[in-house]
Amino acid sequence: MLSRFRLRVLPLTSYLLPLASLIIAGCAMPLTVKYDAKFGAPAISLKESFTVAVVPYKDERKEGNPKKLGDITSPVFGIDTTELIIEKKVADFVTDAFKEQFTLAGFKTQEAVSQDADFLIEGSVKAFSLDIGAKDSIEIEISTTLKDAKTGDILWSGDVAEKEERFAGVMGNTRETVAKYISRSLAKVIKNTLTDVASAIEKTRPQSVEPIKEEVILGNEGRLSLSSVPPKAQVYVDDVYYGLTPITIDLAPGIYNVGFKMEGFKNAVQKIAVRKGRVTEFAVILEKE
């Protein structure tokens, strides 16, 4: 005896309505911005181990919503609101970005001032806005103060700003392009801030911070020019052996762990930023074991 089974076919709307609801909900969600520290890396080499306490930045903008950056008057794929709202409070986003950048530069970071801290960084966000329209208009101004954590003396204080307008291009804006634009613009401000901070530290602690010489080249890659004293040290980039110093290596832009090894000498490791179209020169003096 044969049994009959009925296949129940649900209406197409049963699938489309929930999917549409998810898409609409996603378009209304706050924008997640991941800060990319490699764009904010200043051309410096830290010669000593320092600990910096990064006090949370204050939001001194006139904007009432601590998560709002601006208004949207032109279509953005993936965003269906008239206000540009990010996931974090703007002041928290800036604070976390500074922590990440200091860590990448070789500093040890902490939130609260302690006896172990060498320096203290604090400041405020005076402007941070991005309006999406016929032209995208971004403005960032951040005030930062560097102090000696043990004496409280101000070593450096200043405002660093970035203001720019751009066309989104023929493809228009998406959630991703807007997030990247925010991250890269903030990185410019932080890079200039850390360059001034490093200069101030070097004045109080001579030989502790060293600028890395750069020169412009053509091409989509960057170039590392490495040397050592004594020469013929083994060079490892992210644990991959490349050869003996002096050596020139072409690499994609990014942050790399560069190691130097030689028998009878202590191993040395340094984070070095490789930038598109630039040659970065770095020299290391190896210490005897």
The residue that leads in pLDDT, 21 or 285, is 285
- Please tell me the predicted confidence (pLDDT) of residue 275: 82
Whether the per-residue pLDDT at 52 is higher than 80: the answer is yes
What pLDDT, on the 0 to 100 scale, is given for residue 206?
Answer: 87
**Quick one: average pLDDT of 105-114?**
86
The domain locations on the chain are 18-209, 212-285
Model pLDDT, residue 97: 96
Q: Cα-Cα-Cα-Cα dihedral of 33, 36, 42, 43, to 10°?
A: -160
pLDDT band at 19 (very low <50, low <70, confident <90, very high): very low
Residue 130 has pLDDT above 90, yes or no: yes
258 vs 111: which has the higher pLDDT: 258
User: Residue 194: pLDDT band by 50, 70, 90 thresholds?
Assistant: very high
Question: What pTM does this model have?
Answer: 0.69
* Predicted confidence (pLDDT) per residue in 245-287, tens digit: 999 898 888 889 999 999 999 999 988 888 888 888 888 889 9
| CATH number of the domain located at residue range(s) 18-209 in this protein | 3.40.50.10610
User: What's the CATH fold of domain 212-285?
Assistant: Immunoglobulin-like (2.60.40)
pLDDT band at 111; cut points 50, 70, 90: confident
Q: Is the confidence at residue 89, as pLDDT, over 70?
A: yes
More confident residue, 104 or 18: 104
